[in-house]
Each structure stands twice: as C-alpha cells, then as structure tokens.
C-alpha cells in the first residue's frame, strides 16, 4: 500500500466518522434550554497553576448552572473552583476553595485535618474524602481517571457542604507540577522570615527573599516540619506561593503555563479559559483560612473541629472582599 | 452580543459537531463536548466574538475539552472493532474492499493515542497546516510532525495488515 493510498483512506475514514455527527438542531435546542444556567467560564486557570503550586483544591460543580446569571457584556465573570493539590496517588493535603471574580482572586484554605462528615463514609478528615471516594470507585471497577473524578467530586460535596458554597469545578493538581509551573512564569518570588530546614521535603531556605524555581518551589509548598505551626504554616506558604505565581501569569506566558501543567491536572473546568482568567487577575490573591477550633482527638486521629454555622458566614464575607492580600513574608 | 453568538452557533454548529465527532469517534460524546464548550463560550462571547477568528478559538476549546475528558473518563466503546474487522471478508469487488478498508481505517484511527488522533483529524479533516495544528494543540510544530509521523506509521502498518487479510 502506498503512502498516498493510506492518506486518502485516512481522509475518507475521518470524513466518514465526522458524518456520524448528531444533527446541529439537537445541540441548539439543548443550548436554549441551558441558557440561563451557567455563567462564566473560568477564570481559574490560574488557580490551577497556583494550585499546582500550592496544591490546592477546587470545588467544581457546586455552583451549578441554575444559579448563574446570564452572561452579558460587562458582567464580571465569577467562578468558584475547588483546588486540590495531590501528592502521590491519593493524598490531597492541599485544599483550597478559590473564587475568581473579574480581577479579584480569593483562595480560602481548608486544613487537611478538618473533621467533617463525608457523605456515604461517615465522619473523617476532609483530606480523606478524596482517597475514600477514589478507592471506592476503583474497587467498583472504575478507571484511574474516573476514580480521580469521583474522589474530587466527593471532596467538592464535602467542602461545598461545609462552606455553603456552590462549587463550579474542581482542579486536581499533582504537586510535582508546581516546579514546572514556577519555571513557566520565570520563577516565583517569596520571602521567609527565618532560616528553615526540612530534610524530608528537601527544603532549606534562608531568611529573606528568593526567586523559586523547579524543585525549590515544590519544597517550599511542601515543607511542614521545622515550621512553628506545622500544617498551618504550610498553608500560609501555599497561599503566598499561589499569589506570587498567579501574579506572574500574563497573557504572554499563559500558553507556556498551560503546557507545563496540562498533563498534571485533572479538572472538569476549561483549563485554557482558567489560565486566561488568571492572567486577568490583579493585585495578588486574597487569602483566608476557614475558622477552626482546637485540635481534638477523634476516632480518625487528632483533627480540627469546625462548625458550618461559623464557617459559612466567614466564607461569605471573605469572598465579598474582606479577605486580606497574601502576606509578604512567611515562616 | 447574544445575537452574534446565536448567529455564530447557527452558522457553525454542524461543522463543529462534525469536527468533534471525528475527534472523539463518538457522536454523543462529541455532542456533550460541543454543548459544554458553547455554553462556556457564550458566557464570554463579548471577548471571543471580538477575536479575528472566533471559530478557531472555539475549535481550540473543543480540542482541549476532548483532550481533558479523555484523561478523566474511561473511553467509551468506540465501535465494535473486532466484529467489524472480522466482517471484512474476501474481496468482493473493489467498492466492497474499499468500504471494508475504510471502515477498518476508521476503527484504527479511533484507537490512536489522543493527541495523535487530534493531529490526524486536524490534518486530514480540517486540512490544517502544522503551524495551525500546533496552535490548536498547544505544542510546537515539531511535536505535531512527530505525532503525525507516528500515527501514520501505525496506520500504514495496520492498513498493510488489513490488505493482507482481505486478500488472503
């Protein structure tokens, strides 16, 4: 068989496949039905990137379509995304409820040890929602990709319930991609207050400012030991890093950022649209940590108690603009 | 602006669906992808509609949506590949052989890795240049050539095999 014949066969086969498309009128009717539902497309690509960096979580679909106002020119695009940072197969220690609204980006962290009720699984730490949902799906014969989605959606439902937010999309980022994201924007500047070390995270930072790239960026958002407040300090670092990263995403490097993280992200959002939206944010990321009570011991180990009655109004006001900008220097 | 979006959809919907169907090898998945993308495009049509080539942008959204769906959900059965291949009988005249070869090729294309398949569809269905394909896939033209060359290698080998089967 000659080259030309193969190519003409390919051409015919592809055309034949295309000819099986459904009729356009079916889609037009469906669009008309859904019209009022969904509004913006996501600003959050940046978040994704950030997340990568920070390993945060996104909350995708809670916001749901019937609530979104119809888009019109001049309307500010808003999107709520659960960013989940994944280390290894199923550890999602970074969980961030992020919201993009025009030029403003807000990231609210949920500590991994937060005690919640996981639908179908009972009480547990918030970071176990992903692994439990994922493992149950795998046990039921789901593919890795489908299991990741199940775990992320279960986490969305838990975080949505806790915060009272409708989450549009989730963004599951492999922490390993953080370094690539940092490289894609030419490095992310951070400032640490004092020298710290964590051999396990391969972290060794000197007091002062530095431009983080590659493995150092990853170590910065992973370090938990050697910090005064452990995981809570790590959360602060993730927020600072995220803010720095998003601040460096521009229309010019957005494509590079997307290329760097694309294969390390699982999301139901439009990643390209997200990155573009991130490039539109200004003034860094506003950050907050949900109000948690003291650590208590529970059957699932030491965890942080929370009460939705306190968390919900807090999240509302944080998203309304009360969350402060990410701090300049961190521990 | 909504009027401009409606006009865009009315004019392009069939073409977009055909492209997405060639890409996904699944008319229903294609429908889902196109619907999803158009809903998103609608919400920021003020910006997309003002671009030089909104259709290219939407095509890129569709491609990305497909590439990411493929990552997170198990591929649906494209078609009953084996039964179709087995149905390719001894040659019974040129049209029948040609039809069988084309059907076999359609199935082989459906089993290519996703980026290779996207590159093939863009090249042979959309008649895009390497540079245009690179733009849509977000990679370099060199990577595009490598995707296409590998896909062609696979398809050519498969086609040779099919011909052997058909004529033996």
In angstroms, the Cα distances linking A252 to A35, A177, A196, B12 are 32, 20, 34, 29
Residues B14-42, mean pLDDT to the nearest whole number: 89
CA A228 centroid distance within chain: 26
Residue A150 pLDDT grade (very low, low, confident, very high; cuts 50, 70, 90)? very high
Q: Residues near B1 by Cβ (< 8 Å), separated by ≥ 6?
A: A72, A73, B45, B46, B49
Residue B150 pLDDT grade (very low, low, confident, very high; cuts 50, 70, 90)? very high
Residues A155-164, mean pLDDT to the nearest whole number: 94
Among 3.40.50.410, 1.10.10.10, 3.40.50.300, 1.10.287.310, what is the CATH number of B90-167? 1.10.10.10
Residue A71 pLDDT grade (very low, low, confident, very high; cuts 50, 70, 90)? very low
Where does CATH 1.10.10.10 sit in chain B? 90-167
- The answer, yes or no, to whether residue A110 has pLDDT greater than 90, is yes
**Cα of B52 to nearest chain A Cα, Å:** 17
Q: Quick one: B71 exposed, middle or buried, by C-beta within 10 A (0-12, 13-18, 19+)?
A: middle
Q: Do B41 and A41 touch (CB under 8 A)?
A: yes
Could you tell me which residue, B56 or B85, shows the higher pLDDT? Answer: B56
Q: Are B65 and B37 in contact (CB under 8 A)?
A: yes
**Cα of A128 to nearest chain B Cα, Å:** 20
**Cα of B145 to nearest chain A Cα, Å:** 15
Where does CATH 1.10.1740 sit in chain B? 2-72
- The answer, yes or no, to whether residue A43 has pLDDT greater than 60, is no
Residue A128 pLDDT grade (very low, low, confident, very high; cuts 50, 70, 90)? very high
Residues A26-44, mean pLDDT to the nearest whole number: 58
Q: Do B60 and A34 touch (CB under 8 A)?
A: no
Residues A140-145, mean pLDDT to the nearest whole number: 88
How is B113-165 classified by DSSP, letter by letter? -HHHHHHHHHHHTS---HHHHHHHHTS-HHHHHHHHHHHHHHHHHHHHHHHHH
With beta carbons under 8 A apart, name residues in chain B contacting A270: 37, 40, 61, 64-65
Q: Which of A22-31, A53-62, A77-86 has the lowest mean pLDDT?
A: A53-62
A138: which 2 tokens? Answer: 């795998």
Residue A34 pLDDT grade (very low, low, confident, very high; cuts 50, 70, 90)? low
Quick: pLDDT tens for B31-84.
Answer: 888 988 898 888 778 778 888 788 888 988 898 888 776 444 434 444 444 444
User: For chains A and B, what is the number of CB pairs under 8 angstroms?
Assistant: 163
- The answer, yes or no, to whether residue A36 has pLDDT greater than 50, is no
Residues A291-318, mean pLDDT to the nearest whole number: 82
Q: Identify the CATH number of the domain defined by range A45-319.
A: 3.40.630.190
Phi, psi angle pair for A115, to nearest 5°: -85, 125
Residue A294 pLDDT grade (very low, low, confident, very high; cuts 50, 70, 90)? low
Residue A3 pLDDT grade (very low, low, confident, very high; cuts 50, 70, 90)? low
- The answer, yes or no, to whether residue A192 has pLDDT greater than 80, is yes
* Pairing mode, strands A91-101 and A104-109: antiparallel
Q: Identify the CATH number of the domain defined by range B2-72.
A: 1.10.1740
With beta carbons under 8 A apart, name residues in chain A contacting B61: 270, 272-273
Q: Give the residues across from B8 on adjacent strands.
A: none
Q: Do A146 and B73 touch (CB under 8 A)?
A: yes
**Which of B102, B122, B159, B165 to probe by mutation at the A interface, max A CB count within 10 Å?**
B102
Share of residues in chain A with pLDDT > 70 (%) = 85
Residue A212 pLDDT grade (very low, low, confident, very high; cuts 50, 70, 90)? very high
Quick: pLDDT tens for A254-286.
Answer: 878 888 888 888 888 887 778 777 777 887 788
- The answer, yes or no, to whether residue B167 has pLDDT greater than 70, is no
Q: Are A137 and A117 in contact (CB under 8 A)?
A: no
What is the residue-averaged pLDDT of chain A? Answer: 80
Q: Which of A15-29, A73-87, B70-84 has the lowest mean pLDDT?
A: B70-84
Quick: pLDDT tens for A234-257.
Answer: 888 888 998 888 888 887 888 788
Quick: pLDDT tens for B93-142.
Answer: 577 777 888 888 988 898 888 889 999 999 999 899 998 898 888 788 99
CA distance A190 to B145: 40
What pLDDT score was predicted for residue A1?
45
Q: Name which of B1, B27, B155 is nearest A73 (Cβ-Cβ).
A: B1
Residue B3 pLDDT grade (very low, low, confident, very high; cuts 50, 70, 90)? low
Q: Do B64 and A22 touch (CB under 8 A)?
A: no
Residues A187-193, mean pLDDT to the nearest whole number: 91
With beta carbons under 8 A apart, name residues in chain A contacting B25: 17
What pLDDT score was predicted for residue A49?
44
Other C-beta atoms lying within 10 Å of the C-beta of residue B133: 24
Residues B145-159, mean pLDDT to the nearest whole number: 89
A189: which 2 tokens? Answer: 């500047």
Q: Do B19 and A18 touch (CB under 8 A)?
A: yes
CA distance A2 to A7: 9
- The answer, yes or no, to whether residue B25 has pLDDT greater than 90, is no
CA A202 centroid distance within chain: 24
- The answer, yes or no, to whether residue A134 has pLDDT greater than 90, is yes
């Amino acid at each position: 068989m000659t080259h030309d014949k193969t190519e003409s066969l390919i051409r015919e086969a592809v055309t034949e496949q295309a000819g099986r498309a459904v009729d356009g009128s079916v889609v037009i009717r469906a669009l008309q039905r859904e019209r009022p539902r969904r509004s913006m497309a996501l600003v959050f690509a940046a978040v994704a990137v950030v997340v990568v960096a920070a390993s945060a979580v996104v909350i995708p679909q809670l916001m749901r379509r019937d609530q979104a106002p119809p888009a019109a020119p001049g309307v500010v695009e808003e999107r709520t995304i659960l960013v989940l940072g994944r280390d290894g197969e199923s550890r999602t220690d970074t969980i961030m409820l992020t919201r993009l609204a025009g030029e403003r980006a807000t990231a609210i962290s949920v500590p991994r040890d937060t005690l919640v009720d996981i639908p179908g699984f009972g009480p547990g730490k918030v970071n176990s929602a992903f692994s439990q949902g994922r493992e149950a799906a795998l046990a039921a014969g789901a593919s890795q990709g489908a299991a990741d989605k199940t775990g992320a959606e279960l986490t969305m439902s838990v975080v949505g319930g806790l915060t009272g937010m409708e989450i549009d999309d989730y963004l599951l980022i492999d922490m390993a991609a953080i370094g690539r994201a940092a490289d894609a924007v030419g490095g992310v500047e951070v400032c640490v207050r004092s020298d710290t070390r964590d051999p396990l995270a391969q972290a060794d930072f000197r007091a002062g400012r530095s431009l983080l790239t590659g493995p150092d960026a990853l170590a910065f958002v992973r370090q938990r030991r050697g910090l005064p407040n452990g995981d809570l300090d790590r959360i602060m670092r993730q927020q600072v890093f995220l803010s720095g990263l998003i601040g460096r995403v521009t229309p010019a490097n957005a494509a590079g950022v997307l290329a760097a993280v694309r294969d390390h992200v699982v999301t139901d959002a439009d990643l390209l649209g997200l990155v573009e939206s991130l490039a539109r944010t200004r003034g860094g990321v506003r950050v907050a940590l949900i109000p948690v009570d003291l650590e208590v011991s529970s059957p699932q180990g030491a965890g942080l108690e929370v009460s939705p009655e306190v968390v919900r109004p807090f999240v509302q006001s944080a998203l309304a603009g009360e969350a402060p900008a990410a701090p300049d220097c961190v521990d | 602006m909504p009027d401009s979006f409606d006009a865009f959809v009315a004019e392009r919907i069939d073409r977009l669906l055909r492209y997405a169907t060639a890409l996904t090898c699944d008319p229903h998945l294609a429908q889902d992808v196109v619907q999803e993308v158009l809903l998103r495009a609608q919400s920021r049509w003020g910006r997309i509609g003002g671009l030089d080539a909104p259709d290219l942008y939407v095509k890129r959204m569709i491609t990305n949506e497909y590439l990411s769906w493929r990552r997170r959900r198990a591929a649906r059965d494209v078609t009953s590949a084996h039964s179709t291949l087995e149905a390719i009988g001894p040659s019974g005249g040129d049209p029948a052989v040609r039809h069988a070869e084309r059907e076999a090729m359609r199935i082989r294309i459906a089993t290519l890795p996703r980026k290779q398949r996207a590159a093939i569809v863009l090249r042979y269905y959309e008649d895009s240049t390497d540079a245009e394909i690179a733009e849509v896939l977000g990679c370099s033209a060199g990577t595009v050539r490598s995707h296409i060359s590998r896909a062609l290698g696979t398809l050519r080998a498969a086609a040779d095999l099919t011909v052997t089967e058909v004529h033996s």
